[in-house]
Amino acid sequence: MISYAVRRLLWVIPSLWVVLTLVFFLVRVVPGGPFDQERQIPEEVRKVLEDYYDLSAPVHIQYKNWLVRLVLHQDLGPTMRYANRSVGEIIRLSLPYSAQLGGLAALLALCIGVPLGVYAATKHNTARDHVAMGIAMTGVSVPRFVLAPVLILVLSLKLYLLPAARWETWRHMVLPVFCAGLPMAAYIARLARAGMLEVIRSDFIRTARAKGLSERRVILRHALKGALLPVVTFLGPGLSGLLVGSLVIERIFNIPGMGRYLVEAASNRDYNLVMGVVLVYGVLVMVLNAVVDILYKLLDPRVTLE
């Protein structure tokens, strides 16, 4: 298990290199540049700026310089739109906000989705099952960029129950976390229901019931572990989608996380900042996928490590 975990985590390095290489060249293929939206500046000034940000060299030389600076010096370079600020400084200040939002949203999704799916499976084909899955379908169907403004309008601007923006106290966190976690909770509920329905029809569950065990013990002790396998499989891409979805949430609720800077960097052609944020998101997503694969083996001994 340890050797498999090490190998799985080491695969993050070449995968991340491929992603960063593609992003590096793609952002430079897109028409426009970091100084095109500025007011007209003299050619001498533009040349000085391009030399300073290493934009005057051919693209392959820029890539080599960027890669050497990253690997040897762990330096992501200066930002092109924020004066006197480095990419590392912006990531260091914004990452905690994105991590808190993503972590709390994932925890909320698991706390809502797993019990709702298990409950629906135990009440299969009843009105309670249909209501639970109707709630889950609503969560899947309503996108975050629709749900968030509606909740802000109702709970913040009409009822004055919760703040409409920022990330300061627990009251500021309620709406962003709920809007970010609800779609993921809906997917988890449907997967947990499907997994539980498959497991409770197995022979070992019938044997457990024949021994006289209570239904609660059968579900929690024997069936739940197997029912979580589809949920664990979904956690890798699900958490990745949660990170991407958090970009919208951070923008709507004015949270100073990395998503806000990624959107601004993409629109402003801030190449260094785009690469820095993609690097952090890439590491998080790939490590999460590796951890999910390891958890899958722990939950299901039948899975081989090769």
Report the half-sphere exposure of 89 (CA within 13 A, side-chain side): 8
Question: What is the span of the domain harbouring residue 12?
Answer: 1-306
What whole-number distance in Å separates Cα of residue 274 and Cα of residue 267? 10
Report the half-sphere exposure of 66 (CA within 13 A, side-chain side): 27
Give pLDDT, residue 51.
Answer: 83
Q: Do 261 and 94 touch, CB atoms closer than 8 A?
A: yes
Q: Do 275 and 69 touch, CB atoms closer than 8 A?
A: no
Q: Count how many domains the chain has.
A: 1
The one-letter code for the residue type at 237 is P
- Predicted confidence pLDDT, tens digits, the chain (306 residues): 677 777 777 888 888 899 999 999 998 888 777 776 656 677 787 788 788 888 888 888 999 999 999 988 888 888 888 877 889 899 998 888 988 998 899 999 999 999 999 999 888 889 988 998 898 888 888 888 899 999 999 999 999 999 988 898 999 999 999 999 988 899 999 999 998 988 888 888 888 888 888 888 888 888 888 788 888 888 877 777 777 667 888 888 989 888 888 888 888 888 889 999 888 888 888 888 778 777 777 776 666 655
Looking up residue 70, the CATH number of its domain turns out to be 1.10.3720.10
Enter the pTM of the model: 0.82
Residue for token digits 């533009």? 46
Give pLDDT, residue 162.
Answer: 92
Phi, then psi, of 125 in degrees rounded to 5: 60, 25
Give pLDDT, residue 85.
Answer: 84
Beta-carbon contacts of 269 under 8 Å, excluding residues fewer than 6 positions away, are 27, 30, 32, 33, 34, 36, 80
Give pLDDT, residue 225.
Answer: 80
